[in-house]
A = this chain, B = another copy of it.
Amino acid sequence: MAQQINLNADIAEGWGAYHVGNDAALVKIIRSANVACGFHAGDPTVMHRFVTLAKEAGCSVGAHPGFNDLWGFGRRRITMRASDLEYMIAYQIGALQAMAAYAGLKVTHLKPHGALNNMAAEDLEYALAIGRAIKAVDRNIVYVALPGTEMETAARKLELPLAREGFADRQYDDNGNLASRAIPGTVLKDPAKAVEQVLRMVREGEIVSRNGKTIKVEVETICVHGDEPTAVDVAGAVRGRLEQEGIQVVPLDKMKLAG
């Protein structure tokens, strides 16, 4: 099926004296990075350091905006006016654009973080607020969305470039949602299993749920996680195998996308 795919990961999630993740290793494997913008994680210095790494690695940078909730790492749902949310997103995009300018990069895409991603998947108002922020700041920014959710609806409605996202290292439920991390085995730590899941998604447009059900899905980007000790190995195996199979792994701004 697809001859091209993107690999993305959440990145630059340190803060001040706190360091996390494997940014330096991961940036060489993925092709698009979702950069924390200072609200749930990330600070201007961390952002600056990362865009330099991204430039060197040929990795495109995208905004990974979150709720203004450092204590909760953006994983808590916050109910706010859609307009407040929209401007909060625009603010974070702009902040990242300024940091990206240091490396001569543009912000290529946006993927909401944590609870914001979950809420936008379910709530069209939130999904549209995010899309409107993109549209106001730079309408070429790709809206990375969970397929079949209100985020996809919002991106299409606002005629924004859209990249639907699958996951390399997480099992799915029968309804196409990610299975809860709380269930043992749902995080795929074995590179072979992740590779298998990704290849099937990319070539067949299918996911096999953890109960064995086959789900149809179309994705333009695959997310790998950076926070497991096995993450870099898994991501590396996925990229290696995709390229071996003749599938190009490209930055989001190099793909042909709907919207």
| Chain B contacts for A38, CB-based, 8 A | 91
Q: Does A212 contact B (CB under 8 A)?
A: no
The distance in angstroms between the C-alpha atoms of A80 and B78, with both chains bound, is: 9
Q: How many identical subunits does the complex contain?
A: 4
The distance in angstroms between the C-alpha atoms of A17 and B45, with both chains bound, is: 19
> Taking A16-B73, A95-B95 as contacts, is the C-beta distance between A102 and B90 under 8 angstroms?
yes
> Taking A68-B71, A72-B80, A101-B136 as contacts, is the C-beta distance between A47 and B15 under 8 angstroms?
no
- Chain A 64-97 interface mask (CB, 8 Å, partner B; 1/0): 0000111111011111100110011011111111
Closest to A73 in B: B17
Q: Does A98 contact B (CB under 8 A)?
A: yes
| A72, A94, A115 interface centre (most CB from chain B within 10 Å) | A94
The distance in angstroms between the C-alpha atoms of A101 and B69, with both chains bound, is: 25
Contact indicator A76/B80 (Cβ below 8 Å): yes
Q: Does A233 contact B (CB under 8 A)?
A: no
| Chain B contacts for A25, CB-based, 8 A | none
Q: How far is the CB of A108 from chain B (nearest CB, A)?
A: 15
Contact indicator B90/A15 (Cβ below 8 Å): no
> Taking A69-B78, A71-B68 as contacts, is the C-beta distance between A94 and B99 under 8 angstroms?
yes
Q: Count how many chain A residues have C-beta atoms less than 8 Å from C-beta atoms of the other chain.
A: 44
Q: Does A106 contact B (CB under 8 A)?
A: no
Contact indicator A97/B94 (Cβ below 8 Å): yes
Q: Does A43 contact B (CB under 8 A)?
A: yes
| Chain B contacts for A79, CB-based, 8 A | 76-78, 115
Residues 28-81 of A at the B interface (beta carbon under 8 Å): 38, 41, 43-45, 47-48, 68-73, 75-80
Contact indicator A71/B101 (Cβ below 8 Å): no
| Chain B contacts for A45, CB-based, 8 A | 83-84, 87-88
Contact indicator A47/B99 (Cβ below 8 Å): no
A residues apposed to B, CB below 8 Å: 15-18, 20, 38, 41, 43-45, 47-48, 68-73, 75-80, 83-84, 87-88, 90-99, 101-102, 115, 136-138
Provide a sorted-by-A list of 20 A–B residue pairs whose CB atoms are within 8 angstroms: A15-B71, A18-B20, A44-B88, A44-B90, A44-B91, A45-B87, A47-B91, A68-B71, A72-B84, A76-B79, A77-B78, A87-B99, A90-B101, A91-B95, A92-B95, A94-B97, A94-B98, A94-B99, A95-B95, A98-B137
